[in-house]
Structure 1
């Protein structure tokens, strides 16, 4: 596991007024996405300018299930960094936060954090465990606007229209209609997960019924539909060559440069596109994953990853003060300056600049109309089976059918629900 975590000292100021003996070093464990690295570097630099006796060592871990295992193991063994970034929502519950994490309700700027976020990082007793690391984000389809213009395509409002666009792209261009990147297996889940708005529009009570063991993916047609869509695009041959070996960064580069027309992804990827291919950032747009009814078109919304503290941390007071800084307008502006803004901030007083990237502008209208957004299922239910990314890789690789994957996922969910001691399971 140690080989999977890379260390990088991001700040080591040598102020003459501060002796080495009085300096405190905080360790921060984060995922290795370039936007996460850039925003963490910016925030820690800004904090150390205000507190020159504090420096930071940044540790990088993989994303997906591999990264999850590192976080869980280090918490269980008492070897977690002073601060770490992890998911909000259902995956947090698997960490058993009341046992392993430090509540942050007492930080000075706690009241700045919007309740729509704190509800996704809290326990039944009202303890809140994290500060958002980025903005709210949408889950849907990044697309190449230049390619769409060249082929005379319109943003699809239904899945049928989306498939028709893919057919035109396959016939009239050299671009792959859809980028898939299964070397980073977590990316394989997006077509299933981003379809949740469409599930809720058909089955408004699905999240509650799912949590209470009254609804299943395999036996609820609207929920099964996400797996079916993944099977459909796989069988149509719309993926890029060597998608099994392609990485997340490969997918971002493909959609930015026009080597792929679409990349199902969260909008947290927008800053990474700007970092990796800044000359193409204005060629990238975004739309919600379409359902089957144009009149019900809307966006599935994710809460961002967040900064957490382990219960056994060595420098909890300083770490809490750092999280308090993250919950400020100054920190929002620092993030915007470092990587751009990719959606609405979840800190009071934070605003977006007028010159946000096109993909961000494409997302904002969904938030401006009542009923055109819905939280992803993992923010409405504590259940998310860990096998999902393995199953979606198999469906996307035409190894398993949508129905079979949904049935296995329902079994996986049952195991997790029992581990969480949920009623009716």
Structure 2
């Protein structure tokens, strides 16, 4: 079985809008067990290698179980070009019967209530994580099924050094600070690796803390979108304080200002640094580039101020959707296909295509042969101790976050100043989007 390097999660880091595996298909056939004949449905997915492999595996398995239905794959480019194709087809009523697209705020931009078929009555919904459903829903209903595994954000750590120093995985920020101090005092490695040479990586210490903010204040994202709260106020200000504190405490690696993402992967793998705030894509990168070190790698949720609020922040997969232009036998066939993607067989197709989870569908079991770090992350999912990244519950993300995160994380400005400037950055974006309350 091919193991994916999870590069899609890493590529998404620059914009931190995780685009999951997507699918597209066209088919002909009768609906399994029904009287219809010659039904053709089409499935649209992105043209990446992983997405195409996943799509073909789904089609092969689905057609075997539903010999009366043929599914044909139609691929589109990823990024803005593919985004425009989806929007154009939806508005013209020419969308394929099933298509893969983004979840979260990007989904809201295509007006799901106007263009998509609600799936609230589907049996497979009972198997989908509560953390995922808001990213494919509106007040009017649920519109999508997960089209891949999640990409957690948190802290990658070197388990070998933890064991040597007798450290425990922290569940609060104070415990994390204490661990960093113990590492610093030992002199064995840098406590925290940062890679500000790739400025997008500086965001993770902030963004991976969002599930903790939401645990403390469940209405924070809605209030943020409505301009009632901001990052310059608690509880969100604590994320910026964390970034400042790591610098002020002297915990950063000596090369933090110039190091790149690949340097961070190498540092935590080889043990020259112990912690790296990052997405779980590091696990796949270590497995690929430093396979003899993979057993040394673990990952935990960004610790909250209060351990009762510590949650694993998940950057969620996209979804499979059905347009309202699908009708009659085609609609029924499309629903069958989406249901198949969420079945145990559909989960196996996802795993065979290289996804290792954690998964938003409880029918998808993490394979036994994945790195232990993935199993550590799945434990958060199984316990319900997760929450979506902010971008999946709010359309607001200012373009200057990476640079401001670098400045606060480097001691150039303090946490309060950085958060205030970011709130101003977000206000400009909200006004451009025409959001109420701004």
Shift of 1:246: 0.9
2: distance between equivalents of 1:77 and 1:256? 45
* Contact 1:135/1:304 (<8 A) preserved: yes
Matched, 1:331 2:346: yes
2: distance between equivalents of 1:253 and 1:131? 35
* Contact 1:178/1:262 (<8 A) preserved: yes
Matched, 1:352 2:361: no
Q: Which residue pairs with 2:55 in the alignment? A: 44
Change (3 A) 1:42 1:192: same
* Contact 2:173/2:304 (<8 A) preserved: yes
- Unmatched tracts of structure 1, length 5 or more: 5-23, 62-66
Shift of 1:206: 2.7
Change (3 A) 1:322 1:180: farther
2: distance between equivalents of 1:86 and 1:177? 39
1: distance between equivalents of 2:280 and 2:169? 17
Q: Which residue pairs with 2:310 in the alignment? A: 298
* Contact 1:85/1:308 (<8 A) preserved: yes
Out of 214, 221, 227, the position equivalent to 1:207 is 221
Out of 381, 394, 398, the position equivalent to 2:407 is 394
Out of 338, 342, 364, the position equivalent to 2:357 is 342
Shift of 1:238: 0.5
Change (3 A) 1:222 1:276: same
1: distance between equivalents of 2:74 and 2:199? 28
Q: Which residue pairs with 1:177 in the alignment? A: 191
Shift of 1:141: 0.9
* Contact 1:228/1:402 (<8 A) preserved: yes
Q: Which residue pairs with 1:193 in the alignment? A: 207
Change (3 A) 1:164 1:119: closer
* Contact 1:275/1:339 (<8 A) preserved: no
Change (3 A) 1:102 1:197: closer
Shift of 1:84: 8.1
Matched, 1:144 2:161: no
* Contact 2:366/2:378 (<8 A) preserved: no
Matches within 5 A, 1:12-23: none
Normalising by structure 1, we get a TM-score of 0.71
- Unmatched tracts of structure 2, length 5 or more: 1-10, 12-40, 65-69
1: distance between equivalents of 2:370 and 2:348? 13
Out of 397, 420, 426, the position equivalent to 1:407 is 420
Shift of 1:423: 3.7
Change (3 A) 1:331 1:204: closer
* Contact 2:146/2:360 (<8 A) preserved: yes
- Cα deviations across residues 277-327 of structure 1 (Å, max 9, x unaligned)? 433322211222223334x252133252214679899xx999998766533
Shift of 1:74: 6.0
- Cα deviations across residues 17-36 of structure 1 (Å, max 9, x unaligned)? xxxxxxx9987437x8xxxx
Matches within 5 A, 1:43-122: 43-47=54-58, 49-50=60-61, 87-94=102-109, 105=119, 114=128, 116=130, 117-122=132-137
* Contact 1:113/1:348 (<8 A) preserved: yes
Q: Which residue pairs with 2:180 in the alignment? A: 166
* Contact 2:213/2:220 (<8 A) preserved: yes
Q: Which residue pairs with 1:156 in the alignment? A: 170
Bigger shift: residues 326-335 or 107-116: 107-116
Shift of 1:263: 1.7
Shift of 1:407: 1.3
2: distance between equivalents of 1:75 and 1:251? 36
* Contact 2:184/2:251 (<8 A) preserved: no
Shift of 1:214: 1.9
- Cα deviations across residues 121-172 of structure 1 (Å, max 9, x unaligned)? 23444362x4323334543211110121223322223323323333443454
Q: Which residue pairs with 2:239 in the alignment? A: 226
Q: Which residue pairs with 2:147 in the alignment? A: 133
Change (3 A) 1:43 1:243: farther
Change (3 A) 1:74 1:59: closer
Structure 2 residue matching 1:221: 3-state secondary structure: coil
Backbone CA RMSD of aligned residues: 4.5
Bigger shift: residues 380-389 or 48-57: 48-57
Q: Which residue pairs with 1:289 in the alignment? A: 302
Matched, 1:262 2:275: yes
Shift of 1:225: 1.0
2: distance between equivalents of 1:106 and 1:297? 30
